[in-house]
Structure 1
Amino acid sequence: MPSELTADSTFCDYYQQWVAMYKEGAVRDVTLRKYQLTKMWLSKLIPQLKLSELNRITYQRLLNDYASCHERQTTMDFHHQLKGAVLDAVDEGLIDRDPTRKAIIKGVPPKAKKQKYLNQFELHRLLNDLDLGPEISWDWLILLIAKTGLRFSEAIALTPADFDFSRQIVSISKTWDYKSGAGFVPTKNRSSVRKVQLDWQLVIQFSELTKSMPSDEPIFVQGKVYNSTANSVLERHCRQAQIPIISIHGLRHTHASLLLFAGVSIASVAKRLGHASMNTTQKTYLHIIQELENQDVDLVMRSISSLI
């Protein structure tokens, strides 16, 4: 850290330089924006608080103020965004003791959660409402994500060259930075680089759709791309099909949920979704896994009772 920082420097100034020193160029842009958002909240809540004044009481007060308008999980994320910088300041002798020790995480009651995925009947109604014409459209993107579980940024980065129609697979090796307009960027993690099997209908449909397109240009990108536009199109179809309204990312949840209910292993679902580990899959779809476990218990009991 720059030598001019002392215990009399504000924590805001320290945090800003800490992010510039250790995070810029080392984390993905989306993660960096989270650190920058945390810096904005520090400027709002404790603009003049000095490093020398940061102790368990002032730190807890900061968390409490933030928690007054955020849910507990968001407050926990805020705490984790700060803790690395605070511990480094302790190591550098700018703060006497770790003020984050035994911090209490609070938060406002969570809002009612919207439904994140559709059941098989609802998905059929959605897909039947799509207008799948001869030209690439958002409706085709909806179909593709529903059948593959791709992330939005992965799907819009696909080029005709990514499809191997003879082997019925699509290769995921990049994403499209639709937020800042930087074009092709790396995938979320190494596990996200993968090959996803396609059903024969998608193969026939997309081989026809992409046959006259440039092989190395993204299929779905025509000018500026907005996630909100795709969500609006999906919402309209959900309303017309008279099913719960979900987001484009909800199609990914729908895909995974249907696979799990069909008996596909967690390991296979994790690989298809590009999760870094099965733990991510288990955590994300815990409610479905628990429901399946209850079904397994019923099956075991029926099997045992039939032995007599």
Structure 2
Amino acid sequence: MSQKKYSTKLFYKYYLDWIHIYKDNAVRQVTLDKYYLVQKCLKELAPDLHMNELNRRNYQQILNLYARNHEKTTTLDFHHHLKASLFDAVDDGLLKSDPTRRAIIKGCSPSEKKIKYLNLFDLQKLLRSLDLNSELNWDWFFLLIAKTGLRFAEALALTKEDFDFEKQRIIINKSWNYKEKIGHFQPTKNESSNRTVMVDWQLMQQFQSLIRSKEDDQLIFFDKNQRVYNSTLNQKLATYCEKLDIPIISIHGLRHTHASLLLYEGVSIASVAKRLGHSNTTTTQETYIHIIRELENKDNDKVLHHLSQLG
């Protein structure tokens, strides 16, 4: 009986082939770029490591080297990208066992985190300062994201036909590829991102008036031939924040603000995840763990107070 031969290909070359087979033309370009960045790092960290030499020990050494210059959360992301490919390697018989099993995730000391969201008082202060006149402008764009939690590219892609005024909801089924010179519609981030978002009646009435003259399939905030830069709008928002003396946040920070305030108001994680278009509640929990812990502490106080009333 012949002994089974496992792959002797260099690890970083195997990972590159795996990207070509499973990820090219299957994920969005921004996601694909992350895979290729991981492959580049892997080549630098383990240029001579072959698949048949890969084991728990030298895989852990790769993670440790990467962790020297990256925070723990970034190292975990690096690990997850590699882990997916190695699961397939085991399934395909290219590896005898899973080298990622019981991997320890380390990382350098985290840098001082910027505030990602506003509290209710500061958000109200910001929204009151916006120039919300009878013509659509980017201030209306800021207001819309603050009230819906849409992603930047999702909000850019909105057309008149996406507004269901009768049912007070916005239909999200596409996004706008603003990173290319000639922008165009593209699918949403994932299947869960195709959703409907309920909106208050006041905002719906305002937008019904604002976009009345638009064609059904026409972008409402800008012309298709116009180039929109995320950095330009972030700077515009930052200028507003500086003027009001509130924490400087990005447009994505408005999305974080929206979700954070909903959680503080007692909206369930499942409902917030669905509204944001997250593929599962785990993503929501990991993103807003600091808020969830704070709410758990408040719940514990309520529990103890209730128990004390029982005699």
TM-score range, shorter chain: 0.7 to 0.9
Match of 1:190 in 2: 191
Aligned partner of 2:3 in structure 1 is none
Say if 1:54 and 1:136 are closer, same or farther in 2 by CA, change over 3 A.
same
**2:73 paired with 1:73:** yes
Q: Which residue number corresponds to residue 162 of structure 1?
A: 162
What is the aligned residue count? 303
The reply on whether 1:226 has 2:211 as its aligned counterpart is no
In 1, Cα distance between the equivalents of 2:37 and 2:16? 11
Structure 1 residues 58 and 221, CA, compared in 2 at 3 Å: closer, same or farther? farther
Unaligned runs of 5+ in 1: 1-5
TM-aligned CA deviation for residue 146 of structure 1: 0.5
Change (3 A) 1:93 1:148: closer
Q: How far 1:182 sits from its partner (Å)?
A: 5.6
1:3 alignment partner in structure 2: none
Moved more, 149-158 or 293-302: 293-302
- Residue 295 of structure 1 is matched in structure 2 by 298
Matches within 5 A, 1:244-283: 244-283=247-286
Query: What amino acid is the match of 2:191?
Result: R
Amino acid at match of 2:197: V
Is contact 1:164-1:170 (8 Å) kept? Answer: yes
Letter in 2 for 1:224: R
**RMSD value over aligned CA atoms?**
2.5
Report the 3-state secondary structure (helix = DSSP H, G, I; strand = E; otherwise coil) of the residue aligned with 1:170. Answer: strand
Decide whether the 8 Å contact of 2:8 with 2:50 is kept in 1: yes
Counterpart of 2:11 in structure 1 is 11
> Deviations 1:112-146 (Å, cap 9, x if unpaired)?
21111111110011112212233332211110000
In structure 1, C-alpha distance between the alignment counterparts of 2:75 and 2:144, rounded to whole Å: 35
Shift of 1:162: 0.7
With over 3 angstroms needed to count, the CA separation of the structure-2 counterparts of 1:105 and 1:260, relative to structure 1, is closer
Structure 2: runs of 5 or more not aligned: 1-5
Of 10-19 and 117-126, the range deviating more from structure 2: 10-19
CA contact (8 A) 1:138 1:233 kept: no
Matches within 5 A, 1:1-308: 7-90=7-90, 94-95=94-95, 97-180=97-180, 183-222=184-223, 223-302=226-305
- Relative distance call for 1:83 and 1:182 in structure 2 (3 A) is farther
Match of 2:185, SS state, is strand
Deviation of the 1:49 alpha carbon: 3.4
C-alpha deviation, 1:85, in angstroms: 2.7
| TM-score, scaled relative to structure 2 | 0.86
